[in-house]
A and B are shown apart, each in its own frame.
Chain A
Amino acid sequence: MSRAETTCPPAARPLWTFGLLRSELVTTLRRWRTLVLLAVLAAVPVLIGIAVRVETGGGGDPDRGGGGPAFIAQVTNNGLFLVFTALAATLPFFLPMAVGVIAGDAVAGEAGAGTLRYLLVAPAGRTRLLLTKYATVLAFCLLATLVVTVSALAVGALLFPLGEVTTISGTRIGFGDGLLRALLIALAVAASLTGVAALGLFVSTLTHSGIAAMATTVGLLITVQILDQIPQLHAIQPYLFSHYWLSFADLLRDPVLWDDLRRNLVLQGVYAAVFGTAAWARFTAKDITA
């Protein structure tokens, strides 16, 4: 984001949009709520790292009960695996919840605070305002994922050795290659959140209460996660937005298994398109009274 900000767009209208996006980003990131969410996300890898370190501190064999988040058995031997563990631990709930809060607040929060009509006074048009809001939420998806990744990498490097990475297929790749895969995984995780982001934005256009929109989005998220666990519902599960979330682990196979990763991207794209256009239909036709 920051690099794009410094370059000036040539045409006047993109500049306008860009100013809007920048002010949206700054407003969102300056909120205490956003900062607290990011701090909580950054704390998760720290907690996992310390817990694993304390557990194995005596030099004894770590408990190999098989419980806990994915890849936790490998963390003691390679700090890079803390990135994967932390993402596997935060993706089911913490990350989408944070995105749900930001997305749910995007339009409804403004409406609730009475600032939405002032935003619409600017000659940007509702469609463009909505696109800006969605872009801001997407930027938050990426930022939140990177916060977890960087925090996990820092903690992993501090507490555990780094070095050659053994993929889950048993082959070895260099540390640089491992870092590249970690980055790809972070991108895959961020992309996994775009569906929730669009859903949250749509819910946000339905109400004037920011809290109601956040609660609905997070409630939907929990419902979908539960539905995804019920074996009898396997027929509908491939269409639930959270179904392929953990497919990012396939990036750690060698060779990478792309099937589920591709399915995840397509599914997120469909969710973004459906709920994005629904949000557009609702927002551009809505009476703004506050």
Chain B
Amino acid sequence: MAPYESDHATGAGPDEDPRTGRRKAARYVVPVAVVGVAAATIGLVPALAASGDPDLPKITAQQLVEKIAKSDVQRMSGTVKISTDLGLPDLGSLQEGMGSGHEDSSADPRTKLTELASGTHTLRVAADGPEKQKVSLLERDAEYSLIHNDKDVWGYDSASNEVFHTTAQHTGEKREHRPSATPDDFAEEALKSVDSTTSVTVDGTARIAGRDAYQLVIKPKQSGSTVRDVTIGVDARTGLPLKFTLTPKSGGAPVLDAGFTKVSFAAPPASTFDFRPPRGAKVTEEKPGKDEHSPGFGGQFAPGGLSGADTIGEGWTTIAKFDTGAKGDKTSQQGGAMGGFLGSLGDQVSGDFGKGTVFSTRLVNALITDDGKVYAGAVTKSALVKAADADK
């Protein structure tokens, strides 16, 4: 770009010759080229970054499962991206409307847990031994942190500047008070369900968060399950599950996809776990023992999570049965307007058991019969009806 080049253009009068016009138009090639280069970079960089699957020594599924079980990562920090797509309508605003009435602190872990049930979230996790753990839910210009340091468990919601505090009773017990939302928590739940109804295979290798990993695939053998498979990416060196993907039979996006995008096995700085409530923050104290077990997010997805109710069947097609005791011949009569609203969300079905309504998500289906019984499980609609018929 010579500084004076443009002066020619100034001289060109209204009757400029076509060559100058072409030269003027040629200048616009520059911005167009910049756009082209930018677009090409956006397109090419991910393609170049995926440099193929790493070569790792062969391993059997049995060995890999043992490797996960033996994995004892004490110090680590990383970023986890978690996407959930249950196929539910976005109930965020509804929850907010209902939640505003009660007195719960917004820093209470149980309040925050429900947020993870839909959409995509980024978490940061850090751990330094069994006494120091931290999980942070990154929000737009805010963050929710749950910090376990020795005897104290702190929840800090930076958006509202509220603090939740409780003391851990049995220190030393791993992940006692934090919501389980990392790939290894899900993997633990999924591996609990490995029995005769499941096939476990190793399906090649992958690079996850910059580390070499084996892919463990868990598939239900039973036909009635809504789960197609569960894929767990296991770090080849440490045996720590780095990625967890649950794909439904109906296809499409995974119901649950949680994976590390960054991971480091160095000890995080001690200041990470050193929390003191900031000046002026509202602190909600909770007496220990009220909530012995933190709610397990992962548990809801695995068959084992359906404990506490009567169960029908085994393995992946376990169906939980509750009896609400409400005897009405129609759903709409039980709950008035609310019942009618719920009825409109589900499908009416009938069988030997009578009549009922099936509520479907991409993973879990539930059948509510008109005589007040509830059958729910990660099974197809027909399997639910069959179970209800058999139960009659």
Give chain A's interface residues, CB within 8 Å of chain B.
Answer: 61, 64, 66, 70-71, 73-74, 76-78, 88, 120, 123-128, 161, 163, 166, 168-172, 246, 249, 253-254, 257, 270, 273-275, 277-278, 280-281, 283-288
Contact = CB atoms under 8 A, between A and B. Distances in A.
- Give the residue among A66, A257, A280, A285 with the most B Cβ atoms within 10 A: A285
Contact of A288 (B10, B27, B156): B10
Contacts of A281: 27-28, 30-31
Contacts of B156: 170
B217 to A, nearest CB: 30
A166 B278 contact: yes
B247 to A, nearest CB: 22
B160 A66 contact: yes
Contacts of A257: 79, 124, 138
Nearest to B13: A287
A169 B28 contact: no
A186 to B, nearest CB: 16
Contacts, number: 124
Nearest to A124: B3
Q: Which 6 pairs between the two chains have the least Cβ-Cβ distance?
A: A125-B3, A77-B280, A249-B141, A285-B24, A281-B27, A168-B158
Contacts of A171: 271-272, 274-275
29 contacts: A66-B159, A70-B159, A71-B141, A76-B280, A77-B280, A123-B4, A125-B5, A125-B7, A127-B1, A127-B6, A168-B141, A170-B136, A170-B147, A170-B154, A170-B158, A172-B271, A249-B140, A274-B34, A274-B38, A281-B27, A281-B30, A285-B23, A285-B24, A285-B27, A286-B9, A287-B9, A287-B12, A287-B14, A288-B10
A266 B23 CA distance: 30
Nearest to B276: A172
A61 B282 contact: yes
Nearest to B147: A170
Contacts of B280: 76-77
Contact of A77 (B138, B145, B159, B279): B279
Contacts of B159: 66, 70, 73
A7 to B, nearest CB: 23
B136 to A, nearest CB: 6
B142 interface: yes
B9 A70 contact: no
- Give the residue among A73, A123, A124 with the most B Cβ atoms within 10 A: A73
A140 B34 CA distance: 25
A277 B281 contact: no
A221 to B, nearest CB: 20
B188 interface: no
A284 B158 contact: no
Nearest to B7: A125
A246 B142 CA distance: 11
B35 interface: yes
Q: How large is the interface on B (under 10, 10 to 19, 20 to 34, 35 or more residues)?
A: 35 or more
A88 B140 CA distance: 12
- Give the residue among A170, A254, A281, A283 with the most B Cβ atoms within 10 A: A170
Interface of B: 1-7, 9-10, 12, 14, 23-24, 27-28, 30-31, 34-35, 38, 79, 106, 124, 136, 138, 140-143, 145, 147, 154, 156, 158-162, 271-272, 274-276, 278-282
Contacts of A246: 140-141
B24 A168 contact: no
A43 to B, nearest CB: 23
Nearest to A17: B3
Nearest to B268: A255
Contacts of A128: 3
Contacts of A254: 271-272
B6 A285 contact: yes
Contacts of A123: 4
Contacts of B145: 169-170
Nearest to B29: A281
B31 A253 contact: no
Contacts of A286: 9
B272 A77 contact: no
Given A169-B136, A169-B143, A170-B154, A277 B162 contact: no
Contacts of B154: 170
A125 B30 contact: no
Contacts of B140: 246, 249
Given A77-B280, A169-B158, 15 more contacts: A73-B158, A76-B280, A120-B10, A127-B6, A128-B3, A169-B124, A170-B154, A249-B142, A273-B38, A275-B31, A281-B28, A281-B30, A284-B27, A285-B6, A288-B10
A253 B274 contact: no
Given A166-B278, A246-B141, A274-B35, A74 B6 contact: no
A283 B1 CA distance: 13
Given A278-B28, A285-B9, A73 B3 contact: no
Given A170-B154, A171-B272, A278-B31, A74 B3 contact: no
A74 B145 CA distance: 16
A253 B27 CA distance: 44
Contacts of B281: 77
A120 B272 CA distance: 58
A280 B28 CA distance: 9
B34 A64 contact: no
Contacts of A170: 136, 143, 145, 147, 154, 156, 158, 275
Given A64-B162, A125-B7, A274-B34, A161 B141 contact: no
Given A168-B142, A170-B156, A284-B6, A277 B30 contact: yes
Contacts of A161: 279
